[in-house]
Amino acid sequence: MASTLPPELVAHIARHSPPGETTALKTWALVGSAFRGPAQRRLWRALELTNTVNPWRPSALSYTRAARHFAEYPHLPGYVAQLTLSIAPEWDEDDPVEDEEGLALLRGILARMQAVEEVEVCVMRNREALEWEELPGIFTECVMEYVHTRVGLRKMTVHGFTAVPAAVFGRFMSAAPTVSVYDLEVAGANGPLRSAGPTRLRTSIYDLAKPQLAQSLRPYTRSLRALILTTANCHGRHELTIPDICAATSDTLEHLSLELFETNSYLIDTGDLRLPPLPRLRYLHICFEHEDYAGRRPRGNPRPPDTALPAILAHALALGPRVPLPALAQLDLQNQIVGFGLDDDGYTYPLALAPLDAVLARYLRARGNAAVVRHVIQLTHVRKEGHFRMLADTVEAALPEACAAGMQIVDSRSEWQIDMGDF
Which pLDDT score, from 0 to 100, does residue 302 have?
47
Rounded CA-CA distance 287/347 in Å is 20
Q: Give the C-alpha separation, 22 to 1, whole Å.
A: 22
Q: List residues bridging with 338 in a β-sheet.
A: 291
Class of residue 64 by CB neighbours under 10 A (exposed 0-12, middle 13-18, buried 19+) = middle
**Once rounded to an integer, what is the mean pLDDT over residues 338-349?**
57
Mean pLDDT for 171-199 is 84
Contact call for residues 285 and 257 (beta carbons, < 8 A):
yes
Q: What is the mean pLDDT of residues 388-401?
A: 84
* Range with the poorest average pLDDT among 9-23, 28-42, 291-305: 291-305
On whether the CB atoms of residues 80 and 113 are closer than 8 A, the answer is: yes
pLDDT the model gives residue 265: 44
Statement: residue 348 has pLDDT above 80:
no
Q: Which of 383, 362, 384, 380 is nearest to 371 (CA)?
A: 362
pLDDT above 70: residue 297: no
Asked if residues 193 and 223 have their Cβ atoms less than 8 Å apart, the reply is no
- pLDDT for the residue 25: 59
| Every domain of the chain and the residues it spans | 225-423
pLDDT of residue 98: 79
Of all residues in the chain, what percent carry a pLDDT higher than 70? 71
Q: For 62-73, write each residue's pLDDT tens digit.
A: 999 999 999 999
Model confidence pLDDT, tens digit, residues 355-374: 889 999 999 999 988 889 99
Residue 268: its pLDDT value, please? 45
- Write the DSSP symbol of residue 46: E
Q: What is the DSSP string of 252-285?
A: T--EEEEE--TTHHHHS--TT--PPP-TT--EEE
Q: What is the mean pLDDT of the chain?
A: 81
> Which of 176-185, 186-195, 222-231 has the least mean pLDDT?
186-195
Residue 47 has pLDDT above 90, yes or no: yes
- Give the model's confidence band at 210: pLDDT under 50 very low, under 70 low, under 90 confident, else very high: confident
- What is the number of other CB atoms lying within 10 angstroms of the CB of residue 148? 11
Residues 6+ apart with CB under 8 A from 161: 123, 129, 130, 131, 132, 135, 184, 185
Mean pLDDT of 68-88: 94
Which H or E run includes 183?
A: strand 178-187
Q: For residue range 301-313, list pLDDT tens digits in order.
A: 544 445 667 788 8
Looking at residue 413, what DSSP letter applies? Answer: T
